[in-house]
Amino acid sequence: MPGSTFGTALRLTTAGESHGPANVAILDGVPPGLELSEEDLQADLDRRRPGQSKITTQRKESDRAQILSGVFEGRTTGTAIAILVPNEDQRSRDYGNLRETYRPGHADYTYDAKYGRRDHRGGGRSSARETVVRVAAGAIAKKLLSELWGVRIVGYVKSVADVDAEIPAPEEVTLEQVESNIVRCPDPKAAERMIERIEEARRDLDSLGGVAELVASGVPPGWGEPVFDKLKSDFGRGLFSLPAVLGVEYGSGFGAARLRGSENNDVFEPAEEAVSKTGVPTAAGAAGRPPVRTATNRHGGMLGGISSGMPIVLRCAVKPTSSLAREQRTVQRDGAATTVATKGRHDPCLLPRFIPMGEAMVALVLADHGLRQLTVEAAAQRLMEKATGEE
Amino acid sequence: MPGSTFGTALRLTTAGESHGPANVAILDGVPPGLELSEEDLQADLDRRRPGQSKITTQRKESDRAQILSGVFEGRTTGTAIAILVPNEDQRSRDYGNLRETYRPGHADYTYDAKYGRRDHRGGGRSSARETVVRVAAGAIAKKLLSELWGVRIVGYVKSVADVDAEIPAPEEVTLEQVESNIVRCPDPKAAERMIERIEEARRDLDSLGGVAELVASGVPPGWGEPVFDKLKSDFGRGLFSLPAVLGVEYGSGFGAARLRGSENNDVFEPAEEAVSKTGVPTAAGAAGRPPVRTATNRHGGMLGGISSGMPIVLRCAVKPTSSLAREQRTVQRDGAATTVATKGRHDPCLLPRFIPMGEAMVALVLADHGLRQLTVEAAAQRLMEKATGEE
Amino acid sequence: MPGSTFGTALRLTTAGESHGPANVAILDGVPPGLELSEEDLQADLDRRRPGQSKITTQRKESDRAQILSGVFEGRTTGTAIAILVPNEDQRSRDYGNLRETYRPGHADYTYDAKYGRRDHRGGGRSSARETVVRVAAGAIAKKLLSELWGVRIVGYVKSVADVDAEIPAPEEVTLEQVESNIVRCPDPKAAERMIERIEEARRDLDSLGGVAELVASGVPPGWGEPVFDKLKSDFGRGLFSLPAVLGVEYGSGFGAARLRGSENNDVFEPAEEAVSKTGVPTAAGAAGRPPVRTATNRHGGMLGGISSGMPIVLRCAVKPTSSLAREQRTVQRDGAATTVATKGRHDPCLLPRFIPMGEAMVALVLADHGLRQLTVEAAAQRLMEKATGEE
Amino acid sequence: MPGSTFGTALRLTTAGESHGPANVAILDGVPPGLELSEEDLQADLDRRRPGQSKITTQRKESDRAQILSGVFEGRTTGTAIAILVPNEDQRSRDYGNLRETYRPGHADYTYDAKYGRRDHRGGGRSSARETVVRVAAGAIAKKLLSELWGVRIVGYVKSVADVDAEIPAPEEVTLEQVESNIVRCPDPKAAERMIERIEEARRDLDSLGGVAELVASGVPPGWGEPVFDKLKSDFGRGLFSLPAVLGVEYGSGFGAARLRGSENNDVFEPAEEAVSKTGVPTAAGAAGRPPVRTATNRHGGMLGGISSGMPIVLRCAVKPTSSLAREQRTVQRDGAATTVATKGRHDPCLLPRFIPMGEAMVALVLADHGLRQLTVEAAAQRLMEKATGEE
């Protein structure tokens, strides 16, 4: 039972390795009629692209996505969309020494244990290279979310090492603010210090971790399916499926563990209008019930795992890059002790390039659940009309 | 696209509400030949049962699980196992006032937004009552893990509010230590203070959150499927699907965000024998490669989302109970402001009863992936034998 | 990877054996607001019930379904519906001799080969007894289809042995006509002869096969998903999953193999109004395109595996009951040759009781796809409105 | 909920249209260590290729498959395999007149009803062109089946129009016999008449249907999962998912409907050795039970939907090509009556090129279930050893 497929109503399947000819995605379930071109995918691909700044890896990839199906005369047809991103800069000679050696912190050993063999070049399938097609597919999910429900997704770096950004209102952060600096942190002072720390770490032949915050605004209430496909469950699955993520939380997160209920609960209050002004009637709206909001958002936009209409706020702990240019102790396939230093190109801190990856997974989860909820609402509305004889 | 099904090779489907006649689970994929009786489910059900101590809810349920299929003459047949747990203490009159009122922190509002209607009695499907059949199914998964691979799962309370337990070696904590006190914390001094804090909070008509740590020992290397069904992804999905979980992390978790790579990486070293002494040859083992271990376990037993053979260590942030006996501001279905105080029975701190729930989800994820890996290993071994002409 | 789950948007999971305490189903994905009680399930359960006439098995079961969840105050809540049907007449002593003997035509041997063990009583999980909860779930699917889209499903016996019914217009056959005789054939003359043949076969300690025809009227055009979840694929999977089905065809079926294209094609012609008068706008309807029909219906209501709006007409070949009261040669588990005669109760011809089973699977497939298409249509309509600025 | 994914343990996802740049498949779940190159896919692609003989369409495609991932140094790695087949001969100008016209027997109208728009060029996604990547993936499944279990799959044309082949022993037909003539019928006399009939039909601007027979030998007993993923269910789904298939049957099929039980049952008899000499111990074999066979094979190799070890024999009814060079009445998108004659290239009879498609689906279903059963057997064996203390 393999694991390269994600989602239910919007289903992404991927294939590809770090140093094979290409990475490929099939995105199935995009509704018909969405205006779409390869250009729509490029902005996020450029944000994920290696070599984009002095604090990222210097691998050279143009990362131009080709759409091979599912789009006709500029709009989606409703059928499966195939996306291909060629690998260009496959300097696999860099990896010759890794054929027999397990890099600490990488999946070299675990892939070998699992399969008994592996493509050792750049980590093969375990490389973050595979996220390139996730980001492409995520860009489609974002566009769909925007067109259908006015949902907006923005991610940014919340902390690097011990430098914390101050973000008073997560839902107000704009893409422009995020993209205004190379570390993708909307707090300019913190950004400066983060960049310094990253350069410092690189000089030390070391690497840094950090926290990414991902925010979705405009999500209507009612998304998520009890009891296993809760919105928070699928965010958990999607975000943990990204390389280097060691922790995921939303709302007050681990901080809630130290609070009392009276401190952590968000009280409800009447709302002038729906918090997410999407014009989409929820099942509750269709039933003639007024909108509701919470006074605070410690619940991070989800209650019982279902969206509340308040902004969804998630955070990921991203570990420091495992590849280090310094020598580390390790073992070889034959069991002999050795040392390894990564000569290849790698990021001294994954966070800046993680942001589009995190956003992509959030978008894929939300678009999936938005489409799923369409069925519930359309059916519920018809049954309600039947019941009340309005038809 | 509904969401009451979990798992691939071992697939759990549940149904049931807090105040309906019963909760039901179908567990499909348990291999034939496992010795199994209703007694095997009872120990964990008793650990989850309401009314078990002074610091839990006083709802009275005997929580006796009935096995309705899939077991014949004391052993599983390989076909689907149906489990039924009747609800006995359905004092739904306690909930009459909640028909029109949204409790803060609960899913009352979001279910209404989703479905346009809801069973308001005790939260209906959103109640933690539904976890009773997860715990029953988890007990089967645990037994399977133990029989097939010698895997052992233990969970415990790591912190309540500001009280932190000291657990020097997570993988050495025993069930006996955990069960030696009513708060399920293996550090007896911390346990005492936790209990005090909980009683204090209850007196204040308030509630407390905390952190649960879940440890699986003996998991062979190689479990987990790239790239979306990584072991960590499925733990993320499974644990976030539990009520009240606001955060999940493993290994160094959010702490890794503040470390350097040289501090966070675990170096590999030769191992005398496989860390998990299961006698199960992994694909690597079958290929004649020697066992490997890491000197430390900041990676929490997973690299690239695949088990490394080292103990798997996960943590969940559990929010303070949302139900409070004190008045909280909220709104009604008709939009009018009101207040609500939970008169019903509820836990002042969810942690002690959360432990068996968390263990159950860890067991369900692991048993699923253990079975999935059987296919990979059996096929890989046959192909290897073919290739080397050993057959 | 077990196999007791069926469907995507409407997902049925079942468990239970012939002689265990009960059969259980969980039906997940029924939208909120459908009026539903246990009575709604009973009519079809009575049509499937053993002992209903002189030409069926005499096993005694009241087959009363209990709904354990998902319904509140007479309407569905949108959450999973659990259904339990107790087994009452478990005369398992009848089966003592089958512990070691493989009955010809049954799954005794193949279950043993698969699992290495089996519940031999009445076939265990392989018994047609498990269809009792499919029929209960199918009754819910039928009601949903009727309420949401006006779809009507009727099945009947088309042939028994060499007796063929004449059915000039399949879509006009009514439930009343079908239920007017115990063999469920709407051609009264053929029915009479079928009953004679069945009684004759029983006197000969033998059994008869036949063909069931299943018709769904009012299905809107556009249901079915390329390329693997075509409507015809899912009918194929669903109907072949029923015991004793050796063949499935639709429209001109195997007859088409002998025709020329000019004889088999159905020409399109303008339609006054949509063939299926459901009031449901399809994506095409929403795009302002006029309805279309075909002059004939050799395509059986599906083109490219997607519904055309014409009646869906399917046929199943049902083999003669494998259980025979006469001696048949066979072998024992230990490999020794022996003979076996079924002393237990069994149907001399499965067809009359097969009809509600076949209808249930057709209903489950259609309700699943109807719900799936709601998402496509709701999303397509919104995107179309955006594109044309109608909003 | 889209439908471009097939299988559980071996999971195929496809994308692509008749006249887009390429068709793409991702095959996930192929175990590590299978020797594989693009050459392995070519033989079957050549059998499916247009323009291969005078009785097929003259569209020119070289149909060279590129493997983009999942293979390293000549062997599979265990990770997802991406396959790309470019479309070369996209004479879409042939289809300009079809933009507004619904071809009888095609999916033009139903796609329009479903999606509100469509890629009209050559049928877009509904074209049989999409099967090119199924055939490529099927070739991998065949190789896997052969290497792991010695399973052999052969298909052939059983009838065209009124010409029936005589095939005394389906399981003895060889690929060489099948490929000895352009119609792929192993009965040379029948083959000659079939070719005449097809040429005749083409001269008449007409087309012919027929029946394909698909045989799998060497399948061990025990494959298939109760109760919905029976082997016969998945064959039903897989074969009906192919274009033009109007009927599927196995064993005595629709013929069984006219037989008595005593005529249709296959009696069991002791076997010298397992019918399928695969050397693979089934669960039964592991339990020390002797092999069993049936004296006849009217059950077509499946009992209770689970393989019996006897040859699996399936038949598909394939309708006459819907595209005709003669004028046919139809309607336009705007509802106006018109006529259409297919000017493009098409097959006068689909059967010769259908054979590799049918074989591919049979192979994909079997490889999926073979891998699924590996888990059952490996787990059952370990539990049995535990129970009997053999370990």
What pLDDT, in 10s, does the model give residues C118-150? Answer: 898 888 999 999 999 999 999 999 999 999 999
Q: Which residue of C has its CA nearest to A376?
A: C31
Phi, psi of D103 (to 5 degrees): -75, 130
List all residues 6 or more positions away from D204 whose beta carbon is below 8 Å from its beta carbon: C260
Question: Are the C-beta atoms of D45 and D135 separated by less than 8 Å?
Answer: yes
Total count of residues recorded for chain A? 391
Across the range B369-373, mean pLDDT stands at 97
Burial class (CB in 10 A: 0-12, 13-18, 19+), B320: buried
d(CA D375, CA C1): 8
- For chain D, the average pLDDT equals 93
d(CA A215, CA A196): 26
* Residue C79 tokens, joined: 């959450």
Residues of D whose CB is below 8 A from A2: 9-11, 28-29, 80
Cβ <8 Å between A376 and C32: yes
Nearest to D194, CA basis, from D78, D62, D355, D42 = D355
List all residues 6 or more positions away from C24 whose beta carbon is below 8 Å from its beta carbon: B24, B26, B68, B69, B82, B84, C14, C15, C16, C82, C83, C84, C85, C133
Confidence grade of residue C291 (pLDDT, cut at 50, 70, 90): confident
List all residues 6 or more positions away from C46 whose beta carbon is below 8 Å from its beta carbon: C52, C63
Peptide bond into D318 cis (omega under 30): no
pLDDT at A122: 86
Question: Are the C-beta atoms of B22 and B84 separated by less than 8 Å?
Answer: yes
* Residue D105 tokens, joined: 């027997």
Peptide bond into C227 cis (omega under 30): yes
Q: Where are the domains of chain A?
A: 5-388
Cβ <8 Å between A227 and B302: no
Nearest by CB to D31, from B148, B371, B380: name it.
Answer: B380
* Residue B79 tokens, joined: 């076909």
Per-residue DSSP letter, C242: S
Nearest to A378, CA basis, from C380, C36, C11, C153 = C380
pLDDT at C276: 58
Question: Are the C-beta atoms of D316 and D211 separated by less than 8 Å?
Answer: yes
C374 at the A interface (CB within 8 A)? yes
C286 at the A interface (CB within 8 A)? no
Half-sphere exposure (CA, 13 Å, Cβ side) for C332?
A: 8
Cβ <8 Å between D256 and C249: no
Give the class (CATH, top level) of C5-388.
Answer: alpha beta
Per-residue DSSP letter, C87: -
Q: Which residue of B has its CA nearest to A104?
A: B267
pLDDT at D391: 42
Phi, psi of A11 (to 5 degrees): -120, 120
d(CA C340, CA C330): 7
Angle at which helices C39-48 and C131-149 cross, to 10°:
130
pLDDT at A274: 66
Q: Name the residue with tokens 């005090």.
A: B196
Nearest to B383, CA basis, from B306, B291, B287, B289 = B287
pLDDT tens digit sequence for D7-51: 999 999 999 999 999 999 999 999 999 999 999 999 999 999 998
Among B196-210, B265-279, C326-340, D167-181, the least confident range: B265-279
User: For the domain bounded by B91-388, which CATH number is listed?
Assistant: 3.60.150.10
Nearest by CB to A376, from B115, B229, B372: name it.
Answer: B115
pLDDT at C284: 73
Q: Mind spelling out the 3-state secondary structure of B34-85?
A: CECCCHHHHHHHHHHCCCCCCCCCCCCCCCCCEECCCEECCEECCCCEEEEE
Nearest to C359, CA basis, from C178, C189, C197 = C178
The percent of residues in chain D predicted with pLDDT above 90, rounded, is 82
pLDDT at A181: 97
pLDDT tens digit sequence for C1-15: 899 999 999 999 999
pLDDT tens digit sequence for D13-24: 999 999 999 999
List all residues 6 or more positions away from A374 whose beta carbon is below 8 Å from its beta carbon: C374, C375, C378, C379
If DSSP codes are grouped into helix, strand and coil, which group holds residue C312? Answer: strand
How close does chain D come to A119, measured CA to CA in Å?
6
pTM assigned to the model? 0.97
* Residue D284 tokens, joined: 């039964």
Among A135-149, C266-280, D158-172, the least confident range: C266-280
d(CA D327, CA B103): 68
Confidence grade of residue B391 (pLDDT, cut at 50, 70, 90): very low
List all residues 6 or more positions away from C304 whose beta carbon is below 8 Å from its beta carbon: C224, C226, C230, D106, D107, D110, D111, D123, D126, D243
Measure the N-to-C terminal CA separation of chain B; round to a whole number of Å: 47
Query: How, if at all, do strands C152-160 and C210-217 pair?
Result: antiparallel
d(CA D367, CA D10): 7
Could you read off the pLDDT tens digit of each residue along chain A, which spans 391 residues?
A: 899 999 999 999 999 999 999 999 999 999 999 999 999 999 999 999 998 999 898 878 899 999 999 999 999 999 999 999 999 876 656 667 788 899 999 999 999 999 998 898 888 999 999 999 999 999 999 999 999 999 999 999 999 999 999 999 999 999 999 999 999 999 999 999 999 999 999 999 999 999 999 999 999 999 999 999 999 999 999 999 999 999 999 999 999 999 999 999 999 998 877 666 555 557 777 777 778 899 999 999 999 999 999 999 999 999 999 999 999 999 999 889 999 998 767 899 999 999 999 999 999 999 999 999 999 999 999 998 888 875 4
C260 at the D interface (CB within 8 A)? yes
Residues of B whose CB is below 8 A from A270: 331, 335-337
Q: Which residue of A has its CA nearest to B273?
A: A335
List all chains that touch chain A, counting a touch as 3 or more CB pairs closer than 8 Å. Answer: B, C, D
List all chains that touch chain B, counting a touch as 3 or more CB pairs closer than 8 Å. Answer: A, C, D
Best of C11, C110, C206, C331 to mutate (most D CBs within 10 Å, chain D) = C110
pLDDT tens digit sequence for B243-271: 999 999 999 999 999 999 999 999 999 88
Q: Over 50: is that where the pLDDT of C391 sits?
A: no
d(CA C101, CA B43): 39
Best of C10, C77, C98 to mutate (most B CBs within 10 Å, chain B) = C77
How close does chain A come to C257, measured CA to CA in Å?
30
Nearest to C376, CA basis, from A148, A139, B114 = A148
d(CA C304, CA D19): 17
pLDDT tens digit sequence for C44-99: 999 999 989 998 988 788 999 999 999 999 999 999 999 999 998 766 566 677 88
Nearest to C34, CA basis, from C140, C134, C139 = C140
Half-sphere exposure (CA, 13 Å, Cβ side) for A161?
A: 22
* Residue B269 tokens, joined: 């070293």
Confidence grade of residue B344 (pLDDT, cut at 50, 70, 90): low
Nearest to C217, CA basis, from C316, C314, C287, C284 = C314
Nearest by CB to D11, from A5, A75, A80: name it.
Answer: A5
Q: Name the residue with tokens 């409907």.
A: D257
C374 at the D interface (CB within 8 A)? no
Q: Which residue of A has its CA nearest to D2?
A: A29
User: At C268, which amino acid appears?
Assistant: F
pLDDT at A276: 61
| β partners of residue D303 | D306
d(CA D26, CA D19): 20
d(CA C350, CA C103): 17
Angle at which helices C351-388 and D108-115 cross, to 10°:
60
A22 at the D interface (CB within 8 A)? yes
pLDDT at A31: 98
Alpha carbon distances (Å) from C153 to A314, A352, B19, C303: 47, 57, 35, 19
A119 at the D interface (CB within 8 A)? yes
pLDDT at D94: 61
Query: Is the predicted ipTM greater than 0.95, yes or no?
Result: yes
